[in-house]
Each structure stands twice: as structure tokens, then as C-alpha cells.
Amino acid sequence: MQHLNGNTTEAIIRTPPIRRILMIIPYAPNPVRVRTFEGIAQLVQHSEVDILCLDDGSPIKLPDGVRDLKIISNSSKLRRLFRVIYGLARGIPAGYEFYNSMRLPDVLAGIDLSQYDIIYVERLPLHLLGLRHPRIIFDAVDCWSNTTRVMAKHITGYRRILYALDSMLTLRHEVAACNSANIVLVSAEREAAHLRELGVTAMIQIHLHSRQCFAPLRVLQERERLVVSFHGKLSYVANEMALCTLNRDVAVRLDASRFDLRIIGKCPPAFRSKFKNLKFTGYVESISEALQDSDLSVFPLVISVGFPNKAMESLAAGVPFIGTHEVVEGLPPMPELLEQGVYIRELSEFSAEIERFSQLSLTDRQRIAEKCRAYVSALYNSPSQNTQWQQLLGILTGEKVSEADPITSQR
């Protein structure tokens, strides 16, 4: 309160009350689970956050600011197998039971949920957890029924049967899980469209987790060989299919004296003998640092659902990429990068496009790298990320979303 010329001016700053949020997540939080980890890091800036996690045996690392962590051990593979088989017998899709825990409903029943303003649930079968709360966020991430349908269409062997079965079982469960929430989060517009087509009536929001560009952009220099790379979770079936394409159709067409084709990241032991034309780096401490040594990324994926993180990771490192239509359609609009950092090609055109890119001048490639980095920096700037969460939480709690100026009254 200030006294000015005998008048009293009272400045009232509206500070929203501290929210309390319970996050229920199906695996150990750590930086490898980027969407989960960054979501926690953003939420603790706006709320008091407690976490209930199902420990899948991965290392646990939390961002600063988490108030409380409760852990349910869930790393037994035998229990997981039993849970999946038992779930299938009851008509519950394997994708929903893979990370679930039979203990979770009982643990939740013992928690006073009324102490929380918001409950946040990621991936788990929300409609089967017995939650009773007026404000629930369900992070579906992707449309699982569409994912399983696409997998069943493209892969072969016994896994095709499993994915086909899951695609049939998932439909009603996915709608029920989403409609049990107030707000459903997904990673890309195409996933939201799939859920709406299924009949989901809950509000659906596109949520992009934050992505920082910490390392300075590499200054390109002439070198003997152009470094072309592919990265991702290499055991994932879609990535394994991409490796088949690179091994069979791309590597054999590239002159080894002019191109260094690298597969970045930890790979199953059998892959080195299975894909003899490919060079695997093995485990790397930092994917972003490994990417920064690349000149071009390639993503020959016929299966791409949700948000293509690998493509955005390359752009964040200032590395342009060649990708299929399936990869690019999961990204936010980027007309400024088409043919200037993002090159959409058919699988049969990848090797020719790599050759064409190698003919660009160093100046042109540096300019393209700067455009890639600038796009990601603008898309993921901190104010926009904070606004996204403020809007999301404000919708649920009924708080005013925009930052109000101080209210001044005269006495």
C-alpha cells in the first residue's frame, strides 16, 4: 500500500492459489521419457506436484520441485506376462495392461484424492482405475487403436496377429478411457482426429512437450565424408523396418568414400550381423551431441504415429532430414522448411536425395541448419510452453488464463 499526495493507492495482485496435482505415470520418470519428464518440469512451475509411479525397473530421476514420490514396484516380467494374458482373457488390450499394475486400484483407493485439485494420468486404462475426481487430465499420447491397426497392416509374423487382436479390443476401451477425463492430451493433430472419429467427446488438446536447444549450432566445415544418420529406439518394430530399408536400398547405393552412414544409439546384438551394410555407434551418452556431428538425418519410416520426436530432435540440432510423408504429417506446419531442411521423399528416392544434398555448397547447408534450429526455437520457446500449461490448468480450475495487470483502486 502506498500513500501519494494524501491519497491511498492500493495495488492488488491477483495470485492464483497453489494447486495440488497428483500425477499417475506408468513407468519410472527420467530424461529418457522426454514427454513425461518435461511435463513434470513444467507442472512444478505452476503447482505442487505429487507423483505415483509404476516402477518398471528403469532409473528414476525427477526434475527439481516434486513434492512427494510414491512408487509401486512393477518390474517383474513374469507378472507383466500374466497381467497381459489375464487382461486379454477379459477383453482388455495388451497395450493397456503392459504398463498397468493390479495393485494400482487398491493403492489409489487408499489415497485421499480430495486433497488434489487435479489428477493427471498418463497412458494407463483410466476407466478401469476407479478414480472419482471432478478434474482429470488423461495423457493418451497417441491413439492406440490406430497405432495397432497400422502395425497390423505393415508387420509380419506372430506380432501381426497380436497387433490385429489389440486393434479390435482397443476401440471401446480407448473411447471409455478418454471420456472418463475432462481433458485428453495427445502428441499430434492426427491423433486427435483419430480419437474424434472413434467418438471421443471429451476436450482434446495437442500437447507438445518442451524441447531446449542448449548446445550452440555447429559451424559446418568441409570434411572428407558427409555424415548421414538415423536414430531412435532401434528395437522398436517401425525402426527395425527402417533399418531394413537403409541396409537393403540406401547403404548399398552410397559411395563409402564420400558418405558415412551412422546408426546412432544402443542396438540389439543381433542387428550388427543382420544389417551388415550399416555402421552402429552403440550406446551414446547424448543423442543431441551425436546428432550435432551429423550433416543429414534420414527417416525411411512407413510406420509413424503420434509425434515424430526423432525428426524434431534432428531439427533442434540444426540437422535437416529426409523423411516419408508418414513422418512429416505428424509435425506442426512448417512451410518455411519444406525443401529447405525437410525433404519429403518416397523410399526409392532416399539415396538420390542424399546425393543431391551432398552437392549443396557449405554456405547453403549452414543457412539450412540455421533455419532448422530457428524453427524449433520458435516452436518451443519457454513463454509459449508456460502459456500452454496455464491455459490447460486454467480450463480445469476455472481460473483466468491471461496474466492480469494489477488492479488499482482509489480510496
Claim to verify: residue 260 and residue 186 sit in the same structural domain: no
Q: Do 192 and 263 lie in a common domain?
A: no
CA angle 106, 112, 118 (to 5 degrees): 105
Residues 175 and 309 in one domain: no
According to the model, what pLDDT value does residue 343 have?
A: 97
**320-343 tens-digit pLDDT:** 999 999 999 998 888 889 999 999
Residue 386 counted as domain residue: no
Instruction: Quote the CA–CA distance of 248 and 252 in Å, as a whole number.
Output: 7
Query: Has residue 214 been placed in a domain?
Result: no
C-alpha cell at 55: 516402477
Residue 60 is part of which domain span? 19-206
User: Are residues 190 and 338 part of one domain?
Assistant: no
- List, edge to edge, every strand of the sheet that includes 407-410: 2-4, 7-12, 407-410
Q: What is the pLDDT, as a whole number, of residue 48?
A: 95
Q: Which of 140, 137, 142 is nearest to 182 (CA)?
A: 137
Rounded (to 5) percent helix, strand, coil in the chain: 40, 20, 40
133, 263: one domain: no
Position 411 scores a pLDDT of 28
Q: Side chain identity at 193, as an amino acid letter?
A: A
Cell of 215: 548446445
Is 407 part of a structural domain of the chain? no
Range in 10-19, 96-105, 213-222, 252-261 the model is least confident about: 10-19
Give me the amino acid identity at 270: A
pTM listed for this prediction = 0.83
Rounded to 5 degrees, φ, ψ at 180 are -85, -5
pLDDT for position 214: 59
Is 233 part of a structural domain of the chain? yes
CATH code, domain carrying 158: 3.40.50.11930
What's the grid cell of residue 9? 493507492
pLDDT band at 369; cut points 50, 70, 90: very high
Q: What is the CATH classification number for the domain harbouring 327? A: 3.40.50.2000
* Buried-exposed string 27-52: b where 16+ CB fall within 10 A, e elsewhere: bbbeeebebbbbbbbbbbebbbbbbb
In a domain, 397, yes or no: no
Least confident window among 55-69, 199-213, 301-315: 199-213
- Looking at the fold, whether 190 and 261 belong to one and the same domain comes out as no
Mean pLDDT of 286-311: 92
Residue 385 lies in a domain: no
- As a whole number of angstroms, the distance between CA 108 and CA 106 comes to 5
Measured CA angle at 402 (ends 397, 404), to 5 deg: 110
Quick check: is 43 in a domain? yes
Do 310 and 252 have their domain in common?
yes
Q: Please tell me whether residues 240 and 202 are part of one structural domain.
A: no
Q: Are residues 156 and 77 in the same domain?
A: yes
Same domain, 269 and 308: yes
φ and ψ at residue 42, rounded to 5 degrees: -75, -40
Q: What pLDDT digit, counting tens, does each position of 62-74 carry?
A: 999 999 999 999 8
Q: Is 399 within a domain?
A: no
pLDDT at 22 over 60: yes
Distances (CA, A) of 383 to 216, 331, 388: 21, 20, 9
Whose cell is 486379454? That residue is: 88
Among 161, 178, 206, give the residue marking a domain's end: 206
Reply yes or no on whether the pLDDT at 397 is more than 50: yes
pLDDT at 405: 31
Residue in the block written with cell 510423408 = 325
The answer to whether residue 210 scores a pLDDT higher than 70 is no
Same structural domain, 200 and 144: yes
Q: Map residue 55 onto helix, strand or coil.
A: strand
Structural domains of the chain, count: 2
Each residue's pLDDT tens digit, 118-131: 999 999 999 999 99
Residues 351 and 268 in one domain: yes
Q: What does the DSSP 8-state code read for residue 322?
A: E
